[in-house]
């Protein structure tokens, strides 16, 4: 009897929080809905006000053009997957190790290096475009995917995120393990790394998004169409005045968002999973 | 590494430039630039027009006429960032033989920095290209007494009429008219829910013509009363509900999508260049149920009538190209025999060397009589062609252009008076021109 | 995700210690350097090197198109000009307002959302994805949707405001007074999901035992939050404040797309002004100088934030 009451109470509790969140969620879905509806519209109907959510005459044509047409986004899609995969792996590995050391290993010059690190993140990225171009051209990496992958594997923001996580973890575990004679690598690998999986997943998601949506670096570092990444290939759907075809570009955006959602849904499970073994051994 | 090493031929100068760039980046030592040359019979061309709108066919025709040659056409998006891509590539020694410039501000910089080969001597003695050497009616970009770039396209503006709205108002189609008459017609033709016009003509340009921002001495001309008159005309038209409300233009970004409003019948006249015609015979994407006629741009009250548009789409040769003779062959082909392929994409050739009916047919689509009053277009475009030109003073172009559009916005949304707005533009222009002079 | 040791690096320092080790609980310095080495070398190579040239460029006049031969050294002239440039100061004020309002709001709302999504709510996984959508959807879609929502005459927002009895609803992007507030709304809306994801990941190592103990003591929700949850979220909050602030002083995508700095110059924030001078006016030396001044300003503010949290959250 009490069990029934409790579970009914629990269910009500769930909806008490859930209902407003779902209402709010609609507001966050609006641009997504607009993107989809525009992809099915004719260009002339794209910007009618008030907004026309359901097109009068829906057509799949835009998706056909984007996927199978003359300037199909499929090859660029493959390039983007390749770039994003390497960047995510590289960034998560190097940022986790460096973030851990900045937070949990004491060594001379550590905090100075870290502040310098943060400082480099402040320089506006668009100012770096031209110098980067010159640099990669000299290294012989211009117009190769490596010009996009290599800088993305070693990032300051990722390191900062991981450091902030490790800083919030108790230092006592490390000290106890050191007294027990564990090596620094063992302390990192066996004790702290398992705790970090939720944050590493979050970083993985963010790194994927950063790589997937990066437009400006490929713009100046890539020139041949075979090497295009997705955001560059979207520029095929602009006319010579530089205006986008709304239906084509939104169809392409809708397709290009799918991998991001998959990565998100797979990695966000880690947030939940981690809760089950918070008990730190 | 999976990198596709891009073949290029570093010249000595590029090599030094690259080293200087790297030295400035703080890295000394080996300047290991990749080598390997593009074959001498392969041209690299960068342009902003999508290949399918003419360039692909033109390139095919060129290679057919020049067996053994190859042309690779790279398309860049003609916006700020797309042009940055082209500029970095030009500076970084990417192999580019021929390229295009569409925006005046880039034209100014690239000319000033000698990124365009002097083609004056190649033009001399070429009868077919003689118009490019005509200085009184310039169709080329002159730098002192040298030609550095050739316009490929003429871009005359006209006033399009929604015929259904015009007939309803009983207004005759103007064949020659003045700005005050334009204002009167726009007032008559509007009806419930339909504005008279999208945006008033740029009357200062119509009155002052080429280099209208500058005095003959090269100073700012933006204090000329005709600029204030233009803003007043626009403000009055918007206030009286004759012209489209500028708040809506800003709030809906109509600037880039004016065709949507015209097709939807939201305004009855539209001052626009020829490329807008492509939307008006595209039943698939821009369905509408009225025909369209053309009137010439209005002249000033005293009959002065410069065009709002110019000769445009400049083609030029990269001075670093190791294949300048072949590049010139290609440029020549583009503006002569090749012009026909570009005309199919709705481009009116600058040299006027494609039969008028052919140009008209490509501008007006496969069913011209269904969508257009064909005679009116023939009259406006060919029988009494407007007076086009090429600006030659391009000082501080981007800054003046920005100041002008910012103040135009503020004025037409009603936040600033025309006089105050133009005073602000004039002050910015003077400062920018002075700074440029000091630098030069 | 498998984390691998850098190949060739002696990843696991053996427990054999030399006599010089100061104390058992202190690892030797080189171990720390070894951990940061892969990242550090990459950052030095691919970020710092190009960055140094930005510093150098800020002392020059250069339009890019003139090539490297066209780089003119002008000493401190750019910096003198920057400080005398009214457009620069206008953009500084706009940026401070923009960041000053949007950054704290995004952080607070992101935390609230993160806490809410950490509860057992129906369709949690889907909800998390939905709130993250603004962060991943193309900027074009975001810009266009908001332009239509905020249309002065027919937009949904003003229709709602009208229905609520508001007579003079704002003209939003068609007004130089309302355009910046409108951009702030969009910035917050699109940043909240990002903040929530980061908070969510940080919430996973909240000490469950402490919550149980607090429940037994009959502690209220607010007390539990203040005493247990909040302290564990401080480093994350610092991260978000710093990165969002950096983002606000760098990001110009939405501004470029929605207002292009207008009407007039009412939304020409620092990053957009820099973009204009560099990419539209081709004054790369001057743009770099603006970048350097921004850099010094943000660095100062970051240091202040840094020091403020130092006493509170650093456990070492």
- 8 A C-beta contact, residue C187 and residue C249: no
Check whether the bond before A50 is cis (ω within 30° of 0): yes
Higher per-residue pLDDT: C239 or B80: C239
Structure pTM?
0.83
**Residue B35 pLDDT:** 34
Is any Cβ of chain B less than 8 angstroms from the Cβ of C68? yes
3-state secondary structure of B129: helix
By Cβ distance, the residue of B1, B27, B48 closest to A146 is B1
pLDDT 10s digits, B259-284: 888 999 999 999 999 888 988 998 88
Q: What is the DSSP letter of B372?
A: B
CB contact residues (below 8 A), chain B span 394-413, against chain C: 398-399, 402, 406-407, 409-410, 413
Put simply, the answer to whether A178 touches C49 (Cβ < 8 Å) is no
**Whether residue B176 has pLDDT greater than 80:** yes
Is any Cβ of chain C less than 8 angstroms from the Cβ of B427? no
Ranges of each domain in chain B:
12-155+313-354, 158-307+391-439
- Residue A230, min C-alpha distance to chain B (Å): 15
- Tell me the chain C residues in contact with residue A86 when contact means C-beta distances shorter than 8 Å: none
- Between CA A60 and CA B80 the distance in angstroms is 32
Residues of chain C with pLDDT below 70 are: 1-27, 206, 306, 309-316
Put simply, the answer to whether C279 touches B84 (Cβ < 8 Å) is yes
- From its phi and psi, is residue B211 left (phi > 0), alpha (psi between -120 and 50) or beta? left
Q: Indicate the CATH number for domain B158-307+391-439.
A: 3.40.190.10
- Tell me the chain B residues in contact with residue A48 when contact means C-beta distances shorter than 8 Å: 260, 264
Give me the CATH topology for the region B12-155+313-354: D-Maltodextrin-Binding Protein; domain 2 (3.40.190)
- Tell me the chain B residues in contact with residue C263 when contact means C-beta distances shorter than 8 Å: 250, 406, 409-410, 413, 415
Q: Count how many pairs of residues, chain B against chain C, have C-beta atoms within 8 Å.
A: 107
Q: What is the DSSP letter of C227?
A: I
| Residue of C38, C195, C1 whose CA lies nearest to A193 | C1
Q: Determine the residue among B406, B412, B437 to mutate to test chain C binding: the one whose Cβ has the most chain C Cβ atoms within 10 Å.
A: B406
- 8 A C-beta contact, residue B138 and residue B245: no
- Between CA A183 and CA C21 the distance in angstroms is 13
By C-alpha distance, the chain A residue nearest B265 is A44
- What's the angle, vertex CA B71, arms to CA B67 and CA B77, rounded to 5? 160
Q: Decide whether B12-155+313-354 matches B158-307+391-439 in CATH topology.
A: yes
Q: Quick one: tokens of B45?
A: 């061309």
Which chains touch A (3+ CB pairs under 8 A)?
B, C
The ipTM of this complex is 0.82
- Rg of chain C over Cα atoms, rounded to whole angstroms, equals 24
**Residue A271 pLDDT:** 66
Lowest mean pLDDT among B71-85, B359-373, C134-148: C134-148
- Tell me the chain B residues in contact with residue C53 when contact means C-beta distances shorter than 8 Å: 21, 24-26
CA dist A263 → A203, A206, A256, A267, C3 (Å): 12, 10, 12, 6, 18
Is any Cβ of chain B less than 8 angstroms from the Cβ of A275? no
- Residue C36, min C-alpha distance to chain B (Å): 22
Lowest mean pLDDT among A49-53, A106-110, B316-320, C278-282: A49-53
Phi and psi dihedrals of A93, rounded to 5? -65, -55
Dihedral of the alpha carbons of B266, B271, B272, B277, in degrees to the nearest 10 = 60
Check whether the bond before C263 is cis (ω within 30° of 0): yes
- Residue A59, min C-alpha distance to chain C (Å): 19
Higher per-residue pLDDT: B219 or B11: B219
- Count CB atoms within 10 A of the CB of residue B127: 5
**Whether residue B1 has pLDDT greater than 60:** no
Which chains touch B (3+ CB pairs under 8 A)?
A, C
**Residue B305 pLDDT:** 85
- Between CA C31 and CA C9 the distance in angstroms is 11
- Residue B261, min C-alpha distance to chain A (Å): 9
By Cβ distance, the residue of C151, C263, C279 closest to B410 is C263
**Residue A93 pLDDT:** 95
By C-alpha distance, the chain B residue nearest A131 is B25
CB contact residues (below 8 A), chain A span 127-146, against chain B: 129-131, 133-135, 137-146
Which residue spans within B41-95 are E strands per DSSP? 42-47, 70-75
How high is the mean pLDDT of chain A? 82
**Residue C156 pLDDT:** 80
* Average pLDDT value for residue range A216-234: 84
**Residue C138 pLDDT:** 73
By C-alpha distance, the chain A residue nearest B282 is A44
3-state secondary structure of B71: strand
- Between CA B237 and CA B231 the distance in angstroms is 10
CB contact residues (below 8 A), chain C span 259-298, against chain B: 261-265, 276, 279-282
Check whether the bond before C10 is cis (ω within 30° of 0): no
- 8 A C-beta contact, residue A87 and residue A153: yes
Q: Report residue B37's pLDDT band, with 50, 70 and 90 as the boundaries.
A: low
- Between CA B162 and CA B250 the distance in angstroms is 23
| Residue of A206, A217, A203, A231 whose CA lies nearest to A100 | A203
- Between CA B27 and CA B282 the distance in angstroms is 55
Is any Cβ of chain B less than 8 angstroms from the Cβ of A126? no
**Residue B20 pLDDT:** 37
């Amino acid at each position: 009897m009490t069990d029934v009451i409790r579970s009914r109470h629990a269910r009500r509790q769930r909806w008490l929080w859930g209902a407003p969140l779902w209402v709010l969620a609609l507001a966050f879905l609006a641009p997504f809905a607009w993107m989809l509806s525009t992809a099915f519209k004719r260009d002339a109907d794209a910007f009618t006000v008030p907004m026309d959510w359901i097109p009068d005459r829906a057509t799949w044509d835009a998706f056909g053009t984007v996927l199978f047409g003359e300037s199909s986004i499929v090859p660029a899609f493959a390039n983007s997957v390749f770039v994003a995969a390497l960047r995510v792996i590289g960034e998560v590995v190097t940022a986790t190790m460096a973030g851990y050391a900045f937070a949990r290993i004491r060594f001379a010059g550590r905090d100075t290096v870290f502040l310098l690190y943060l400082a480099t993140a402040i320089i506006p990225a668009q100012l770096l475009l031209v110098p980067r171009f010159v640099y990669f051209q000299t290294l012989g990496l211009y117009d190769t995917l490596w010009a996009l992958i290599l800088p993305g594997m070693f990032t300051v923001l990722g390191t900062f995120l991981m450091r902030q996580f490790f800083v919030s973890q108790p230092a006592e575990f490390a000290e106890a393990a050191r007294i027990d004679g564990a090596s620094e690598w063992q302390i990192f690998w066996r004790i702290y790394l398992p705790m970090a999986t939720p944050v590493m997943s979050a970083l993985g998601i963010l790194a994927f998004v950063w790589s997937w949506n990066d437009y400006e670096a490929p713009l100046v570092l890539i020139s041949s169409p075979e090497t295009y990444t997705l955001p560059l290939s979207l520029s095929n759907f602009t006319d010579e005045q530089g205006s986008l075809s709304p239906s084509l570009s939104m169809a392409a955006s809708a397709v290009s968002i799918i991998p991001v959602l998959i990565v998100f849904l797979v990695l966000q499970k880690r947030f939940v999973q981690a809760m089950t073994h918070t008990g730190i051994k | 590494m999976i990198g596709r090493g891009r073949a290029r031929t570093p010249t000595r100068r590029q090599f030094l430039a690259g080293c200087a760039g790297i030295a400035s980046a703080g890295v000394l030592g080996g300047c290991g630039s990749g080598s390997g040359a593009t074959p001498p019979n392969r041209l690299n061309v960068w342009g902003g027009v999508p290949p399918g709108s003419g360039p692909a066919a033109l390139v095919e025709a060129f290679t057919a006429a020049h067996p053994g040659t190859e042309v690779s056409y790279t398309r860049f998006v003609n916006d700020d960032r797309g042009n940055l891509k082209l500029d970095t590539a030009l500076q970084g020694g990417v192999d580019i033989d021929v390229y295009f410039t569409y925006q005046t501000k880039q034209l100014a910089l690239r000319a000033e920095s000698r990124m365009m080969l002097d083609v004056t001597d190649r033009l001399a003695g070429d009868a077919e290209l003689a118009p490019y050497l005509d200085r009184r009616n310039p169709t080329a970009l002159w730098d002192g007494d040298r030609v550095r770039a050739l316009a490929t396209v003429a871009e005359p503006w006209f006033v399009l009429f929604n015929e259904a709205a015009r007939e309803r108002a009983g207004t005759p189609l103007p064949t020659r008219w003045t700005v005050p008459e334009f204002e009167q017609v726009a007032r008559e033709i509007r009806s419930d829910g339909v504005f008279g016009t999208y945006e008033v003509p740029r009357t200062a340009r119509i009155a002052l013509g080429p280099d209208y921002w500058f005095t003959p001495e090269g100073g700012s001309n933006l204090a000329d009363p005709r600029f204030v008159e233009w803003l007043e005309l626009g403000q009055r038209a918007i206030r009286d509900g004759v012209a489209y409300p500028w708040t809506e233009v800003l709030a809906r970004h109509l600037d880039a999508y004016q065709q949507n409003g015209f097709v939807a019948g939201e305004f009855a006249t539209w001052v626009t260049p020829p490329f807008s015609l492509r939307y008006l015979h595209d039943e698939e994407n821009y369905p509408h149920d009225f025909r369209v006629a053309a009137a010439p741009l209005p002249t000033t009250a005293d009959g002065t009538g410069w065009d709002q548009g110019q000769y445009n789409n400049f083609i030029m040769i990269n001075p670093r190209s190791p294949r300048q003779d072949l590049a010139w062959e290609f440029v020549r082909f583009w503006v002569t025999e090749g012009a026909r392929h570009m005309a199919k994409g709705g481009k009116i050739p600058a040299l006027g060397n494609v039969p008028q009916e052919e140009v008209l047919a490509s501008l007006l689509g496969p069913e011209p009589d269904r969508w257009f009053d064909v005679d009116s277009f023939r009259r406006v475009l060919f029988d009494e062609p407007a007076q086009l030109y090429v600006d030659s003073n391009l000082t501080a172009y981007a800054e003046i252009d920005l100041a002008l559009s910012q103040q135009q916005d503020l004025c037409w949304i009603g936040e600033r008076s025309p006089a105050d707005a133009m005073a602000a533009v004039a002050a910015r222009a003077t400062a920018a021109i002075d700074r440029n002079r000091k630098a030069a | 995700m498998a984390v691998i040791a850098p190949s060739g690096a002696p990843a696991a320092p053996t427990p054999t210690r030399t006599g010089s080790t100061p104390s058992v609980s202190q690892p030797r310095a080189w171990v720390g350097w070894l951990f940061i080495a892969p990242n550090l070398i990459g950052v030095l190579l691919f970020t710092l090197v190009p960055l140094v040239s930005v510093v150098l460029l800020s002392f020059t006049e250069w339009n890019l198109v003139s090539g490297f031969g066209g780089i003119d050294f002008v000493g401190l002239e750019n910096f003198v000009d920057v400080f005398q440039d009214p457009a620069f100061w206008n953009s500084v004020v706009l940026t401070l307002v923009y960041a000053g309002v949007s950054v704290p709001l995004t952080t607070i709302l992101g935390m609230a959302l993160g806490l809410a999504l950490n509860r057992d709510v129906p369709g949690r996984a889907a909800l998390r994805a939905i709130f993250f959508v603004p962060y991943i959807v193309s900027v074009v879609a975001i810009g266009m949707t908001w332009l239509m929502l905020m249309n002065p005459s027919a937009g949904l927002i003003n229709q709602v405001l009208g229905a609520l009895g508001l007579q003079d609803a704002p003209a939003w992007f068609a007004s130089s007074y309302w355009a910046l507030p409108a951009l702030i709304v969009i910035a917050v809306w699109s940043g909240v999901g990002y903040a929530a994801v980061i908070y969510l990941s940080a919430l996973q190592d909240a000490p469950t035992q402490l919550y149980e103990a607090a429940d037994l003591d009959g502690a209220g929700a607010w007390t539990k939050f203040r005493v247990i949850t909040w302290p564990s979220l401080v480093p994350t909050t610092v991260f978000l404040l710093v990165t969002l602030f950096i983002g606000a002083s760098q990001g110009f995508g939405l501004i470029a797309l929605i207002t292009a700095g207008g009407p007039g110059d009412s939304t020409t924030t620092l990053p957009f002004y820099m973009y204009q001078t560099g990419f539209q006016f081709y004054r790369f030396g001057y743009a770099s100088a603006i970048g350097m001044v921004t850099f010094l300003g943000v660095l100062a503010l970051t240091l202040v934030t840094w020091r403020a949290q130092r006493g509170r959250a650093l456990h070492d």
